[in-house]
Amino acid sequence: MKRKAIIKLENVSFSYNKGDFLNNINLTIYEKDFLGIIGPNGGGKTTLIKLIMGLLKPDEGKISLFGSTSKASRESIGYLSQFKNIDFEFPITAMEIVLLSRVGRKLFKRFNSQDMAAAEAAIKSMGIWALRDKTLNELSGGEKQRIFIARALANNPKVLILDEPLTNLDFHIQEELYKILKQLNKEIAIVIVDHDLQMVSKYSKEIVCVNKCKMHAIKYHDANSLRAGLESHV
Amino acid sequence: MMQIHSERGWNLMFEALQYQFFQNALIIAVLASLASGMIGTYIVIKRMSLISGAIAHAAFGGLGISYFLNSNPLIGGIIFSLLSAVSIAVFRKGARVDTLLSFMWATGMALGLVFIFLTPGYATDLFTYLFGNILLVSRADLIMILILDIVILSTIILMFNSFLSVSFDEEFSESRNTNVTLVNIVLFSLIALTIVATIRVVGIVLMIAILTIPAATAQLFFKTVKRIMVGSSIITLLAVVSGLYISYYLDFATGPIIVLIIALIYVLSLVISGLRTQKVPKVSCEDNDFVFMEVRE
């Protein structure tokens, strides 16, 4: 059975200040994929994600989500950005963080019982319902990460895109989160940017390596063949 | 002896109340405290003190021009502060935002000063706009501030969730197709209107204090935005009303007194919250209901 393509990048180029950054990228992500994105720092992993999310505009090429190029289609993506833009001292509870993901386009949004139910389901699916009234700065690193994944899940996305969600988390928590993602992958596609080759190769089905102008899909059977594949490309 | 003292205190309190100007001042105190307490909360949690400072000083330019043209200074203040707020909301992501803020800050101030100097009999009024004197508020000012307050408070109530979402995480809000620029334009415009509503109380130069310190104080004790807003409004109201009385009896401009009271409350709160956190032991991992599952190889 042929799988349906959900995210498609065709000949996409992007540069910040006239210098080539991402050049002529082609990438197709299918439903129920578990795609790992790796590459050196400054190689363009986050840029690639932001292009997909429509947070950056490509200079050339076409990006379609679920067969459409309209901005509305990105609402079917659960997005988890890097933590560096988040102010952890912001006075907000875990429940509020997840609920706010349902504000969307409505300027005068009031939360109804549907919103509450969706937030509750998302938080429960991450096993942290008991922490819902804790404020952000009262949560540990792993708990924070779960809340942000719950936020990304609260709108029933068809794909979850996570940009380095595991930075600064210890090994056990990383493994735990990967298991959760694996579980979610039964229903939805997962795209994850990660530094940890060992971990990402253990769980993902495919890996692409992004390094500025070049992008490679790497086929592998285990960590060793992945490493060999990487060395031949990077 | 005590009785006589307190009786005299009550008398002093009511004596002031019989004057119309004092009643006006009290009403403005309530209105300004509500607006600045709530908007100040956004300024503190979104770390926008410099932006607010720039808007306040830009407002002074419009104020001066209005004053020179012999119309109500607050109208010029509203126009200039709104213009600067909107341009900051639109251009703030650019590389030169720092320059933009400094430009508005100094140019607005210079423009205001030039026009006030050009107007005969400037001296006392200049002092009032720069440092505030709530005891010199006219009936027209009061009505205008009342209208500003209604606009500010009802917009906050209507757009509370949009404001919170965009303040917390702009990038995520954008990925959910929230109109981030529009929400910011509205929020920054409310900051502008709050500044105009507060000019009479503390003046342009001391504005930053009333917009940020009460909210920062409330944040020491409360952990959600709604509660910080209420706490911050109450702290501001306490400071403004007590400052009002002290200024009245000392025959002194209200602005500096109010700011000193706000600062005093902040310092005391820092000490109290410092003592409190020392007493309460930190929550340990075991106290959380959630415990990570053991990982087995």
A151/B172 CB distance under 8 A: yes
Residues of A in Cβ contact (< 8 Å) with B171: 55, 81, 85
Of A103, A138, A173, nearest to B162 by CB-CB distance is A103
Tens-digit pLDDT profile for residues A26-77: 899 999 999 999 888 878 889 999 999 999 999 999 999 999 988 899 999 9
Measured between CB atoms, does B288 come within 8 Å of chain A? yes
Residues 30-59 of B with CB under 8 A from A: 45, 47
Predicted model pTM: 0.89
Number of Cβ pairs closer than 8 Å across A and B?
A: 104
Distance between A3 CA and the closest CA of chain B, angstroms: 26
Residues of B in Cβ contact (< 8 Å) with A97: 168
Distance CA B296, CA A172 (A): 10
Of A75, A103, A142, nearest to B292 by CB-CB distance is A142
Measured between CB atoms, does A85 come within 8 Å of chain B? yes
Residue from B154, B169, B280, B287 to probe the interface with A (highest A Cβ count within 10 Å): B169
**pLDDT score for A227:** 64
A92/B164 CB distance under 8 A: yes
Of B161, B172, B228, nearest to A79 by CB-CB distance is B172
Of B161, B171, B222, nearest to A55 by CB-CB distance is B171
DSSP A86-123: --TTS--BHHHHHHHTT-TT-TT----HHHHHHHHHHH
B176/A92 CB distance under 8 A: no
Distance CA A163, CA A143 (A): 17
Residue from A103, A136, A143 to probe the interface with B (highest B Cβ count within 10 Å): A103
A77/B175 CB distance under 8 A: yes
Of B167, B222, B288, nearest to A131 by CB-CB distance is B288
**pLDDT score for B1:** 47
Measured between CB atoms, does A103 come within 8 Å of chain B? yes
Distance CA A74, CA A49 (A): 12
B168/A173 CB distance under 8 A: no
Only one residue has tokens 């609920």, namely A99
Give chain A's residues under pLDDT 70: 1-2, 18-20, 212-234
Of A85, A104, A130, nearest to B176 by CB-CB distance is A104
- For residue A107, give every residue at least 6 positions away whose Cβ sits within 8 Å of its Cβ, in sequence order, or none: B158, B159, B162, B179, B182, B183
HEC secondary structure over chain B: CHHHHHHHHHHHHHHHHCCHHHHHHHHHHHHHHHHHHHHHHHHHHCCCHHHHHHHHHHHHHHHHHHHHCCCCHHHHHHHHHHHHHHHHHHHCCCCCHHHHHHHHHHHHHHHHHHHHHHCCCCHHHHHHHHHCCHHHCCHHHHHHHHHHHHHHHHHHHHHHHHHHHHHHCHHHHHHCCCCHHHHHHHHHHHHHHHHHHHHHHHCCCCHHHHHHHHHHHHHHHCCCHHHHHHHHHHHHHHHHHHHHHHHHHHCCCHHHHHHHHHHHHHHHHHHHHHHHHHHCCCCCHHHCCCCCCCCCC
Of B161, B172, B292, nearest to A81 by CB-CB distance is B172
Tens-digit pLDDT profile for residues B194-232: 999 999 899 999 999 999 999 999 999 999 999 999 999
Residues 19-78 of A with CB under 8 A from B: 53-55, 71-72, 74-75, 77
Distance between A128 CA and the closest CA of chain B, angstroms: 6
- The strand order across the sheet containing A60-65 reads A22-30, A5-14, A60-65
Residues 143-162 of A with CB under 8 A from B: 143, 151, 155
Measured between CB atoms, does A175 come within 8 Å of chain B? yes
Query: Among residues A141, A170, A109, A160, which one has the least CA distance to residue B285?
Result: A141
Distance CA B278, CA A188 (A): 46
Measured between CB atoms, does B14 come within 8 Å of chain A? no
* Element of type H or E holding A180: helix A171-184
B169/A86 CB distance under 8 A: yes
Measured between CB atoms, does A84 come within 8 Å of chain B? no
Identity at A110, one-letter amino acid code: R
Of A79, A90, A128, nearest to B45 by CB-CB distance is A90
Distance between A109 CA and the closest CA of chain B, angstroms: 6
B178/A81 CB distance under 8 A: no
Give chain B's residues under pLDDT 70: 1-6, 8-9, 122-124, 278-297
